[in-house]
Amino acid sequence: MANEKPAFRFEEDTNIQEVLDYIGSTYDQHYVGGNDLQTVDVWEMMNIAQEMCQGTAVKYLARFGKKEGLNRKDLLKCAHYVILLMHFAGKEDS
């Protein structure tokens, strides 16, 4: 059936929704200039966004299980930076 939702064996759909909800919740928590300017914007202006997003994703993945145990928030942060990396890597491909 064409309109059937695929059966996710490992709750990928639920986890993706959790990442999306987490990312949405971050937009009122940025430190530079309210909603107008984020640190990632500064990285982009400096032409280092791709590298910084990659490094930051690795940081949170490496930290998982060490700081505050198996902290799910580290995984959410890592996923957020991977998604940002996908955005900036896509810009360089075009």
Query: pLDDT digits over 10-57, tens only?
Result: 999 999 999 999 999 988 776 655 557 888 999 999 999 999 999 999
Residue 53 lies in a domain: yes
Q: Which pLDDT score, from 0 to 100, does residue 26 have?
A: 87
Q: Which pLDDT score, from 0 to 100, does residue 15 have?
A: 97
Residues 6 or more apart whose Cβ sits within 8 Å of residue 32: 38, 39, 41, 42
Q: Which pLDDT score, from 0 to 100, does residue 1 have?
A: 55
Q: For residues 26 and 40, is the Cβ–Cβ distance under 8 A? A: no
Residue 71 lies in a domain: yes
Name the residue range of residue 67's domain: 19-93
Place of tokens 């890592």: 78
Q: Which pLDDT score, from 0 to 100, does residue 30 have?
A: 63
Residue 2 lies in a domain: no
Residue 93, pLDDT above cutoff 70: no
In a 3-state reduction of DSSP, which class is residue 70? coil
Give the integer Cα–Cα distance in Å for 56 and 59. Answer: 5
Q: Which pLDDT score, from 0 to 100, does residue 36 have?
A: 74
- What does pTM read for this prediction? 0.83
Q: Give the length of the chain.
A: 94
- The number of distinct structural domains making up the chain is 1
Give the integer Cα–Cα distance in Å for 28 and 34. Answer: 7
Residue 86 lies in a domain: yes
Residue 51 lies in a domain: yes
Residue 25 lies in a domain: yes
Residue 42 lies in a domain: yes
